[in-house]
Amino acid sequence: MSTLPFTWHAPELVVVVVLGVAHQFSGASTKQRFQAVGALVALLAVTVWPVGDIAATVSLSVATVQRLVLMLLVAPLLLVSVPATTLATFTKPRAVDFCVRFLGQPGVALGVVLVLGTLTLSAPVVDAGAHSSLTRDLTLVVVVVTGLILWAPALGVVVGARKLSPVARGGYLFGASLLVTSLSFIWIFARHPLYPALHHQRAIVHLTPLFDQQLAGFLAKGLCYFPMWIVAFVIFSRADKQGVPVEESPLYWADVERQLLRVDRQRERAQRRGKLD
């Protein structure tokens, strides 16, 4: 591709290698190792040349697919691939535990996902990423973090986060599927291209800029709705097969320990305030 020369993506390669090596020493099960490999392979596939470059400087539809892969595939696979003991250790510090408790609330998570998901595909951010590799890499980090926030209430694997019942998790996913693609209708019905920094669509993806933008809107809807709805139905079916009431929230010992730790911390704060008074 003469209009899209090969480029090395050293930061992305380093991140994938570091995460892969770190996961080998995390005590993960065989299943979790396969999940981590799948997440890292998908991460690499959509962030390096050629997909990463096309998403950054050429095509909004490819950028949309890239963001959805990061949010709907990479993020949940990363979450479930981490052993519970590792997650408990990582989320134990006060500041991290506060963020987990706050962002683990479904309403808060949906609000954050709506804001961050919209910002990462807004015209100013996409245009900035087309001219700066640092901005592009930071945007991709935000997309993955947004995906982790999105899936934390639905998967129920984060120690300390609020645990939802199967019916609540399914309803949460249905609601989230409507918010993740908030810009899609604007792309579909816009009368002119909204992303001036994206170029060479005709030469590389064989689409006009306007059609590429409209296609991004349809892809955003289709590639978001079906995966999240399928996961919601799987949650319902598994709960039914296991005989778990769909309206009851599960309870795990790690979460009980975290709640006891929070009580101890609240008692310590109260004692410190009493001494100051």
- Note whether residue 61 is domain-resident: yes
- Note whether residue 274 is domain-resident: no
- Note whether residue 5 is domain-resident: no
Instruction: State the residue range of the domain holding 37.
Output: 10-267
CB atoms within 10 A of CB 107: 10
pLDDT reported for residue 241 = 67
Amino acid letter, residue 113: V
- Note whether residue 193 is domain-resident: yes
**Per-residue pLDDT reduced to its tens digit, 56-111:** 999 999 999 999 999 999 999 999 999 988 999 999 999 999 999 999 999 999 99
- Positive or negative torsion for Cα 149, 165, 34, 226: negative
Query: What total number of domains does the chain contain?
Result: 1
- Note whether residue 220 is domain-resident: yes
pLDDT reported for residue 148 = 97
- Note whether residue 273 is domain-resident: no
- On the question of a cis peptide bond just before residue 5, with omega within 30 degrees of 0, the verdict is no
- Note whether residue 184 is domain-resident: yes
pLDDT reported for residue 188 = 95
**Per-residue pLDDT reduced to its tens digit, 126-182:** 999 999 999 999 999 999 999 999 999 999 899 888 888 888 898 899 989 988 878
pTM, two decimals, is 0.92
**Per-residue pLDDT reduced to its tens digit, 24-61:** 998 899 999 999 999 999 999 999 999 999 999 999 99
pLDDT reported for residue 152 = 94
- Note whether residue 276 is domain-resident: no
